[in-house]
Amino acid sequence: MAYDIKITKTASPKPKPDQISLGFGKIFTDHMFIMDYTEGKGWHDARIVPYAPLDLDPASAVFHYGQAIFEGLKAYRTHDGRILLFRPRKNMERINRSDERMCIPLIDIDFCVHAIKTLVSIDKDWIPTAEGTSLYIRPFIIATDPFLGVHPSHTYKFIIILSPVGAYYPQGINPVDIYVESNYVRAVKGGTGFAKAAGNYAASLKAQAEAAQKGYVQVLWLDGVERKYIEEVGAMNVFFKINGEVITPSLEGSILPGITRDSVIQLLNSWGVKVTERRISIQELYEAYEKGTFEEAFGSGTAAVISPIGELNWEGRKITINDKKIGELSQRIYDTLTGIQFGKLEDTFGWTEEIR
């Protein structure tokens, strides 16, 4: 596909929000990117237009059978005014893995990174500069065939919207309390857990709502077969530091291969900290706690960055991790990762891409 994007700018730019009370995902910028897919024609009509509601047929497949996927990445404003993206190609590669699983046509990775850069550049004045804030980028694809039969759609829309954001959790970088879910499951091998399919999140809402009623921010999912092995949290992968070693659940098809997860593993390796990807049971975690070797726990994700876990509740057994304080290693990872993302530290991994 040629790199041409038709640009129509808004005639009435919106006022910029107060950067202190951004929260997450509530405010959207002036423009959005759209392109259409038609079978036989491929992706076409790439355009940037003023942010506005979509006009869709009520019979559109996405509304009925949830054929939809999404991504999440961020643009960061550095102290010297540059704009950086963090490993954007990894998100576009993951779109294609999600697409493949959901029978959605693949995208051109280079073109879509170019589309993100063009859109962010047009709305660059929306990138917040307050500490810990960034511009969240949400690419997504929806099936648009107006047809009620269950089959892969022949038409789609790929859309990118932008949202200036602060912390994902109201707690910020302070430890969050997590409920270990032993009743509902998120995914099983052979399902869609490894894909960023919209329906995965719809299916998780009930567990999250029940956990919220009990005072927990999110749930920690266990495997869907034995309800024994740890998978991930609602919007984060998880890491545990036990007796000096960092352990994270291995990728076996049911959890999302997080880009932050991969970056954390690379960082730990570069520091010579032992990090192991393997199956880890909730029982093992509680035993480590009893023995006094459970040192730190944290989640990793684009939205949540590094989020220490302060308390776990598994079938009424509550354990407090590191006195509900941010662990030394969690803090070091947070500082390094955000240091690279915000251009304060040298990016020896080549993870950032500047938008010029």
- Closer CB to ligand PLP, residue 224 or residue 258? 258
CB under 5 to 8 A by kind: which of ligand PLP, ligand COI, none does 29 bind?
A: none
The footprint of ligand COI on residues 169-208 (CB under 6 A) is none
Binding mask 56-75 for ligand COI (x = CB under 6 A): ----------------x---
Residue 187 near ligand PLP by CB under 6 A: no
- Closer CB to ligand COI, residue 302 or residue 338? 302
Sole window of 109-117, 297-305, 311-319, 346-354 interacting with ligand COI (rule: CB under 6 A): 297-305
Give the tokens for residue 150: 């269950």
Cβ neighbours of 172 (radius 10 Å): 12
Residue 29 near ligand PLP by CB under 6 A: no
Least Å distance between CB 140 and ligand COI? 10
Convert 242-286 into a string of H (helix), E (strand) and C (coil): ECCEEEECCCCCCCCCCHHHHHHHHHHHHHCCCEEECCCEHHHHH
- Of the candidates 172, 97, 190, 104, the residue with the CA atom closest to the CA atom of residue 142: 104
Least Å distance between CB 257 and ligand PLP? 8
Residue 235 near ligand COI by CB under 6 A: yes
Among 32, 66, 72, 92, binds ligand PLP (CB under 6 A): 72
Residue 303 near ligand COI by CB under 6 A: yes
Q: Which pairing describes strands 83-86 and 134-143: parallel, antiparallel, or unpaired?
A: unpaired
Residue 235 near ligand PLP by CB under 6 A: yes
Is 207 in contact with 184 (CB distance < 8 Å)?
A: yes
Total residues contacting ligand COI by CB under 6 A comes to: 5
CB under 5 to 8 A by kind: which of ligand COI, ligand PLP, none does 237 bind?
A: ligand PLP
Least Å distance between CB 185 and ligand COI? 18
Among 302, 307, 336, 352, binds ligand PLP (CB under 6 A): 302
Residue 301 near ligand PLP by CB under 6 A: yes
Least Å distance between CB 303 and ligand COI? 3
Sole window of 4-12, 55-63, 130-138, 295-303 interacting with ligand PLP (rule: CB under 6 A): 295-303
- Closer CB to ligand PLP, residue 258 or residue 310? 258
| List of residues contacting ligand PLP (CB under 6 A) | 72, 232, 235-237, 256, 258-261, 300-302
| List of residues contacting ligand COI (CB under 6 A) | 72, 235, 301-303
